[in-house]
Amino acid sequence: MTDSDKATPDVAAPPGPRPRLVWVTVAVALGVVVIDQVTKALAVAYLRPRILAGEVPVEILGPVLKLTYTENTGAAFGMGTGFTWIFAAIAVVVSIVILRTATRIGSVAWAIALGGLLGGAVGNLIDRLTRPPGIGQGYVVDFLQLPNWPVFNVADMSIVGSAILMVVLTIRGVELNGAKRTSSVR
């Protein structure tokens, strides 16, 4: 009998941090940032001139989804106009916390959720750092319009989608480390 014959059968590792999931988080974030920045560049190049010329938004799905152009100097729903530097600082802090937390992830779903949140935060942070009037005070380009809803962008969609996924994971009892929380209430 050889040593390989004495080997124990494969046993599933208990839930816990999996280093490769950091890369899933980063890959999702990078994907969101690229899509967000490309779509914002297209909005600036093609939608901004139309809207500034007084043309109506482009209807994609009739009145349900339109493409328009706005420069948001505030937070969600246009709140906090004039406090752009605070939103930039918050995005930096959130990004650092997510990157630190990513080292403890043991769930692919949590890696995707945190990656989407990170990508959305960084996508809008890039705007705040690079657009006029200056570093940390720039506006965020928004271009997607739904009825009775503020105009938004891909980064915003990613942030909201990630938040929804995090709520679902929490309700289902999936912990950050991948373990399934069991109910202790009887």
DSSP for 30-87, please give it.
Answer: HHHHHHHHHHHHHIIIIIHHHHHTTPPPEESBTBSSEEEEEEE-SSGGGTTTT-HHHH
Residue 122 in any domain: the answer is yes
Question: How many Å apart are CA 19 and CA 97, to the nearest integer?
Answer: 16
Q: Work out how many domains the chain is built from and give that number.
A: 1
Residue 6 in any domain: the answer is no
Residue 41 in any domain: the answer is yes
Residue 13 in any domain: the answer is no
Domain interval for residue 130:
20-171
Residue 5 in any domain: the answer is no
Residue 4 in any domain: the answer is no
Q: Which of 120, 118, 155 is nearest to 24 (CA)?
A: 118
Residue 1 in any domain: the answer is no
Catalytic residue among 3, 10, 127, 156: 156
pLDDT of residue 8: 44
Whether 5 sits among the annotated catalytic residues: the reply is no
Residue 58 in any domain: the answer is yes
pLDDT tens string for the chain (186 positions)?
555 555 444 434 456 668 789 999 999 999 999 999 999 999 999 999 999 999 999 999 999 999 999 998 876 656 666 777 788 888 889 999 999 999 999 999 999 999 999 999 999 999 999 999 888 788 999 999 999 999 999 999 999 999 999 999 999 999 998 888 876 544
Whether 10 sits among the annotated catalytic residues: the reply is no
